[in-house]
Structure 1
Amino acid sequence: MLRLSRRAVLAGAPLLAGAPAAFAAAPALTVYKTASCGCCRGWITTMTRAGYRPQVVVVEDVTPFNNRYGVPFELSSCHLSTIGGYVVVGHTPPTDVARLLRERPKALGLTVPGMPLGSPGMEMPDGRREAYATLLLLPGGKTRVFAQHG
């Protein structure tokens, strides 16, 4: 049985007190995906571990959601999410989503087109990784590099 001193408990209390508030403050993440996509489940798991609270909506096709949020076909992926007034497309790292929400740029959101090996949800058993960029999606289908990975 683990026994902690009163001093140890009191020293750790401020750290524990802030944890629930931090998770409660995380904006809702709605994920639109098809039933058959396994890599989407991997991305959702990554986002959950990073402290987000994904609500999954299973759809027949994500194309109508790409159209609704102004995501051109060439910048689309197998799933699309909304969070904090932004769209997040594909296997975007949770750190990029956090930065987006912190900086609040004038943009539609973020996209990681395609399915780069080693991106969240696309991890390979042998550790292979591709270099890829997270793109800031601007109105009219324009983009600029938001972050580089790998």
Structure 2
Amino acid sequence: FLNRSDSKVSENPALGGKEVTVYKTPTCGCCAVFISYLEKKDVAVKTENVKNLDDIKQRNGIPSQLWSCHTSMVDGYIVEGHVPIEAIEKLLSEKPNIKGIALPGMPSGTPGMPGPKTEKWEIRSLNQDGTVGTFMTI
């Protein structure tokens, strides 16, 4: 999709020029803050406002226990929720054989969410066989 005229190139070296597409509902405020967070990290973001976000999640095989308020895609990977840039950078540098990563729910202090960080964030991996594991803890 980098050849499309409306695509952008990420300046963040860890993303290798890849654009992140964020699917969200039009009224989600914390999603807009998450997008601003990515942009401040030199990530090119394409925003797709959708009415039925559950459909995006179901079509991509994201188990409901991993759901958050937005779903992102980058370089063929799913990034579900308020995932910190460190996890996205690790995903794209290591290129594991998984469907993607997720930070379930909307934990306090995560990128886009108000409040202090009150616990370690367990970034989950969505494996090709549909199982869920631990990708990293921040």
TM-score (norm 2): 0.85
Q: Name the residue aligned to 2:8.
A: none
Structure 1 gap ranges (5+): 1-19
Structure 1 or 2: larger helix share? 1
Q: Name the residue aligned to 1:9.
A: none
How high is the sequence identity, in percent, across the aligned residues?
Answer: 33
Counterparts in 2 of 1:34 and 1:105: CA distance versus 1, 3 Å: same
Counterpart mapping for 1:44-123 below 5 A: 44-123=35-114
CA contact (8 A) 1:91 1:112 kept: yes
Superposed CA deviations along residues 34-73 of structure 1, whole A, max 9, x for unmatched, are: 0111111111111111111110000012111111111011
Alignment partner of 1:133 is 2:88: no
CA contact (8 A) 1:42 1:120 kept: yes
TM-score (norm 1): 0.78
What is the aligned length? 128
Greater Rg over alpha carbons, structure = 1
Q: Name the residue aligned to 1:13.
A: none
Structure 2 gap ranges (5+): 1-10
Query: CA RMSD of the aligned region, Å?
Result: 1.9
Task: Give structure 1 regions of 4+ aligned residues with deviation exceeding 6 angstroms.
Answer: none
CA contact (8 A) 1:136 1:143 kept: yes
Superposed CA deviations along residues 84-127 of structure 1, whole A, max 9, x for unmatched, are: 11010000011100110000000001100101111111131xx3
